[in-house]
Each structure stands twice: as structure tokens, then as C-alpha cells.
Chain A
Amino acid sequence: MVVEQASFWRRAFAFIIDLFILDIFITSPFSSLFESVVARTKTISIFEMTYSTKEIALIVMLFLLLYLYFVLFEYVLQQTPGMMFAKTKLDGNMSFWTTLVRNSFLFPVLPFILLWVIEPIMLFFKKRTVLEYASGTRTVYQREVML
């Protein structure tokens, strides 16, 4: 078994698979609730529109569930379903705390929102994200080789 750092494309593939799964299992029950927000985007940018307290609560709830998805899977199985498909896995001293840290890029607030730009760049060039450095973890690809 050879374990090496997962490439940018492999991780992107895993993330896309996860997004599909999230869409089915987590975001789809909320879709009808966001119809009005989608309707408003026809006239105003999503960043410019004002949100009611209930909408903010709904968005926070949704992000919390998305966050828990990554945290729980990584804590329990050291990999998300998408990572299973991509044959990648977490490596390092995994604890609940480290999984919380490494997935904090999901918070839709500053400064975490900056990570949405920084992390892909880091992944592309360093194969390791800022939060992986911070949590002392890495994502690896394991493959069997004939020796």
C-alpha cells in the first residue's frame, strides 16, 4: 500500500462528489424555503439583498448541517463519502477538535470566507490547505502497488 498526498484534482473530484451527496441529503429539503431568495436574485445581487432574521437563521442552520457533515464523517471514518470514491483519506492526529478546525472554511463569515480563495490556491501549489497546516492533518491518497 502506497500512501501519498492527494492531488488537487483528486481532492476536487472528492469535493464535487460530496457536493452531490450534500445536495441530495441535506440541501434538497431546504430548497423550497429558498425559492423566494432565488426569485429576488432576478432583480438584485445575492450580496446586496437584505435578509430577514428568519432567512439568516435558515442559512446558519444549513451551513451548520453542512459543517457537521464534514466534521462527523472525518471524525468517525477519517473520510467523507466523496473521499471514499476518490480513494483519499485523512492522515494525522485526528481528534474532534482537529476536524472542527480543518473544516472551518465552511463558515460563511470573515475571515473564513477568505479561505474559499486561499485554500484552492494552496491546494494547487502545496497539496495542503492552510487549515490542514493549522490542524496538523493532511489528505492522502492510498493505492495498492505491486512490489
Chain B
Amino acid sequence: MKKPSIHLSTAALQKSPAPNTSSRVWVSVLLLFGFLIVATFTAALFSRDVDDIGANTAIIRLIGPIYGDGSSGVFSDGVVGSTQIIELLEEARDDDAITAVILEINSPGGSAVASDEIAQAVANRMSITASIGVIGSYLEFDEFIDDWNVSYNRLVAGDRKDVGDPFVNLNDVNKAFIQTKMNKVHRFFIEEVAQNRKLTIAETEKIADGQFMLGVEAKDAGLVDELGGKDESIAYIEEKTGAIVITTVFEHETGLLEELFGIFSSAPQPSVAESVKEQVRGRLLERNSPVPMLR
């Protein structure tokens, strides 16, 4: 028969005067609430990134015109930096948990953006979807500043360095020069669209006159695969991957300094006319000339 292991006292029980039951309860309650506070605090810290936890699909938002790289290097109001988009795409690619990327695009265009393979293009049937063209129009103010008795001191090394400057008259030669460049960009654009949408160059050229299309027209033209929105994109990913889509928004994270300087970068963008007025005002001030009221 097994011998029961019974003894009447132990070292631990005799080591120190054992706290009585009441003290034990109070110590327990204190410890438990200590744990509750620590756990809540820790969870709160993690909840700042709660959207990232378990996400398998990245959402990258492109809202506004796309430019190569903003002066501040951040997403300013309504402007998207292509460098940041590429960084976000690379971040999504390097994240093992991310299996798909949804690009939410609400942009009139802008500079060309290097893109990874876009598997499925989904557009709302009423959205303005395609406009394959290049625009370089701008206001010219050379006569305007003449009217205000302002002169443009042309200091360039390289005859075409200031081509496109709003204060310089664009002659026919330079106009043709810019047009040639734009035609080349247009050609690259057409080739890029044809390659990514698996269309022929001829097919793409037909729709590459800069016209905008509604989503439904873009689908007919082969520029989008499906009509719909985010829900349709998610359904497509779930069908392809066989996994439930959990999304997380990938966005440029600003550091403290950037956040502070962002106050300036996120200020409303001045209109072209405002910019010109500022430049004229600045130039007049540099010359110690009287500054007219520019409204």
C-alpha cells in the first residue's frame, strides 16, 4: 500500500510569520489590480497598432495628384509623393503577413509611378477612371509683369534652362521642344498601359487621347477588370487566396520632427495665381521697389 506523504510542518510555513488570511486577501487584491493596470496599459499601447495585428491585406491610399517627391517628403494636403508610394509598396512586399495590396486611388494623375504588377483593377462604374494623356499647360505672366513694370532678369547657363518659367515668353521653338518631350512621355504612358493591361499599342492609342472615361467605359476598353469598389476587391482577394481578408492601412509614418514640420507642409497649397503674386511681390521687394496691391 502506498504510504501517504504527510508531515506536520514545513520550512516555508515556519520561515516567516505567515500573513493572516485578511492580509493575504488584501495583498492579492492589490497584486491583481496591479496586473490589471499593467495589462490594460500594455494592451492600450498595442492597440495603437491594432489595425496591423493579424492583417493580411495592405490598403495604400493614393489621394490627390501624384508627384515625384514633395519638398517636405510627406503626404501634404491632397498631394501624393511617388517615392512614398513605392516605399509603402516595398514595405507591404517585405511584410510576410501581407498577401495582397489594395491601392485605393482617387487621383487625377501626376508623375509616372513605378508599380508592381496589378493583378486586378476594380473601378466604380461612375468614377472618372482613365485619362491617358500628358498635360503641361501653365499660365504665362511675362506681359503681366511688364504691365506692372517688373522686369525678369534672365540669368541662365543653358539656353533652355528656364523653358516653362511663367515669366518667360514661350516661343514656337521652345513650345515644339516641350511638345516633343510630352509626346515621348505620352508614348511611354501608352506602352506602360498596353503592357500592364495586356492590350496592343494600337488598341491603347485609340483610347489615349486624354479623354476621361467612366468606370463602365473603362471596363469596356479593357482598362479595368471589374466594376465595384473595396468590397469587390476584398471578395476577389478572398477568392484568390482562400483566406479571410483583414486589412490594415499602410501609410507614411511621421516622426516627431516631421510631424512638427508637417504643420507647414500641410498648409493649404497656394493657387498658381497666388504663387505668381508671391513671386512678383518677392522680386519687387528684392529690388526695393514699391509693392503694388496684388489681388
Contacts and interface: CB of A to CB of B under 8 A. Distances in A.
B231 to A, nearest CB: 17
Interface stretch (B8-16, B101-109, B128-136, B169-177): B8-16
A43 B9 CA distance: 54
Interface string B65-95: 0000000000000000000000000000001
Contacts, number: 127
* Residue from A1, A27, A78 having most chain B Cβ neighbours under 10 A: A78
A57 B225 CA distance: 39
Output the residue of A3, A29, A35, A51 with the most chain B CB within 10 A: A29
Interface size class of A (residues with CB under 8 A): 35 or more
A27 B13 CA distance: 32
Interface stretch (A8-16, A90-98, A100-108, A113-121): A90-98
B32 A25 contact: yes
B188 interface: no
Among A25, A91, A140, the most chain B Cβ lie within 10 Å of the Cβ of A25
Contacts of A68: 35
Contacts of A2: 6, 8
A3 B54 contact: no
Contact of A65 (B11, B42, B55, B242): B42
Given A43-B244, A72-B31, A65 B13 contact: no
**Interface-centre pick from B8, B13, B49, B246 (highest chain A CB count, 10 A):** B13
B240 interface: no
